[in-house]
Structure 1
Amino acid sequence: MAVPAQVFTVPLYFDYGATFLWGITGALVGARRGYDLSGVAALALISSTGGGLMRDGLFLQNGPPALLQTSIYLLIVAAAAVLVFAVGARLDHYRRYRHFSGLIQVVDALGLGAYAVVGMQLAIDSGISLPGVVLIGLVNAVGGSILRDLFMRQEPEAFKPGTLTVVAVLISCFVFIILEKGFGFSPYLAAWPAIFTAFAIRLFSVRYNIRTRPLHGFIPEDRHT
């Protein structure tokens, strides 16, 4: 008898914790821009759940987004926004501390691979082609930060030269696809090497300031006279 393939799911404590921390970072961006509570809450929502909203609403379209199927995520985002609105200046001060900044980086690095894997599994279950699977994994991992920057009329940081974020996610996606499709690993077993890959690449690039570079031979538009 065939054993059903195990799937990877993000542990609830990490899922909720990551949503809360990403909500705080998004809300702090809004607070530093001088937004009111509604603006702060909007950026908290976009930063923490934007990737999943794009995944469910734009690509998969398999019913209501996961965000709306339970009230817990909206309550977590609301708590993050209210906390920043109430004591935002203190949180912004603590954000500069090494330990708090390090916690954000660790959660972010773990979340990149974990949410990429979740997005890819959902895409595979929906019959998406392999390039589409990788795209959905990437969007699920970094879509929130891209939407946040676009809403603030900024160039998305993910598109600009910097430490390895998109690269880390892409390599993680390829690791998952190769193990799951090429070597026959169950989604659950393929998930962990993929998550570790994104985590290691992201933190290594931050620790040693390994950065992407602009394409050679092109002059950025803001340097043209």
Structure 2
Amino acid sequence: MNAAENVLEFYPIWVDLAGAILGGILGAYAAARLGTDVTGALIVAVVTGLGGGMIRDVLLQQGPPVALASPWLLAAAAGAGLLTFLFSGHLHRLPGRRRIAPFYVVVDAFFLAAWTVVGVAKGYAAGLPIVSCVFLGVLTAVGGGIARDVLLGRRPLILQPGTLEAGAALIGAAAQAAATLLIGSLWGALVGLVVVAAVRILSLALRWQTRPARIVSADEPGDSRGAA
């Protein structure tokens, strides 16, 4: 067993299970808000909860994706999606939603970090170069959300200006990859976990946001391309 596989050995299955449930809830709720039927909501729920990991495992070509090999992950994402669809009309009326918001931010940051760490570790375990490991970490973290937005016919959220999500995963994956080379895989995974979660939480709490590209048109001052 190589060093990176040690990280995967200590990675608890309940993290994947809880992540599938969380993704299923978010995916089904997004689908319900756009008026899909129950079948559409279930498809989006499963894709959101499991899409990032499945894409990663297909790219690694190391047997069936974890989501298909496990008897629980598909059921968890679909079950969470079904319940969310059935009660979607009442969710916005739940009491205490504002009190739940800080808890959700922490949970969201934790799972973003956990998926990033596992993606990087799986890349190392497969013997991939460091850049590919970072890519797999980010893909695992945000792949499900990208697939959700594509299915719902909207521009993926990570391609729009806003708080750091893919950015947090990228910074944390790079930190984990560098730390793994310097201090070992287990400590590197811990560094990645902390960095991703911290950047994500701080970006939401302090409203760190990316800005859209500013395209200078031909008639704006300082642009000589429109000059005669």
**Category of TM-score, reference length = shorter chain:** 0.7 to 0.9
Aligned CA distance change for structure 1 residues 11 and 98 (closer, same or farther; 3 Å): farther
Which SS does the other structure have where 1:167 is aligned? helix
> Paired residue for 1:199, among 180, 197, 200?
197
Partner of 2:101: 101
Give TM-score scaled by structure 1 length: 0.88
For 1:1-225, what aligned pairs fall within 5 Å after superposition?
Answer: 5=3, 6-8=6-8, 9-57=10-58, 59-94=59-94, 97-181=97-181, 183=182, 185-218=183-216
Q: Is the 8 A contact 1:21 1:104 kept in 2?
A: no
* Identical columns (%): 31
Paired residue total: 214
1:222 is aligned to none
The answer on whether the counterparts of 1:142 and 1:166 sit within 8 Å (CA) in structure 2 is yes
CA shift, 1:85, in A, is 2.8
Q: Which runs of no fewer than 5 residues in structure 1 stay unpaired?
A: 220-225
- Quote how far apart the aligned CAs of 1:74 are: 1.1
1:96 & 1:170 partners in 2: Cα distance? 33
- Unaligned 5+ segments in structure 2 are 218-228
In the alignment, is the contact (CA less than 8 A) between 1:28 and 1:84 conserved in 2? yes
* Larger Rg belongs to: 2
Equivalent residue of 2:208, what SS? coil
SS in 2 for 1:209: coil
Instruction: Give 1:37 deviation, angstroms.
Output: 1.3
The one-letter code matched in structure 1 to 2:47 is: I
Opposite residue 82 of structure 1, the aligned amino acid is L
Listed one character per residue, the Cα deviations across residues 116-151 of structure 1 (whole Å, up to 9, x for unaligned) are 111111111212221111111100011110110011
> Which secondary structure state, in structure 2, belongs to the residue aligned with residue 7 of structure 1?
helix
For normalisation by structure 2, the TM-score amounts to 0.87
C-alpha contact 2:2 2:125 (8 A) present in aligned 1: no
- 2:115, 2:137 within 8 Å by CA — same for their partners in 1? yes
Structure 1 Cα separation of the partners of residues 165 and 204 of structure 2? 10
Query: Judging changes above 3 Å, is the alpha-carbon distance between structure 1 residues 4 and 139 closer, same or farther for their aligned structure 2 residues?
Result: closer
Aligned-pair distance for 1:96? 8.2
| Residue pair 2:53, 2:67 contacting (<8 A) in 1 also | yes
Q: Which amino acid aligns with 2:31?
A: G
Greater CA deviation, 21-30 or 97-106?
97-106
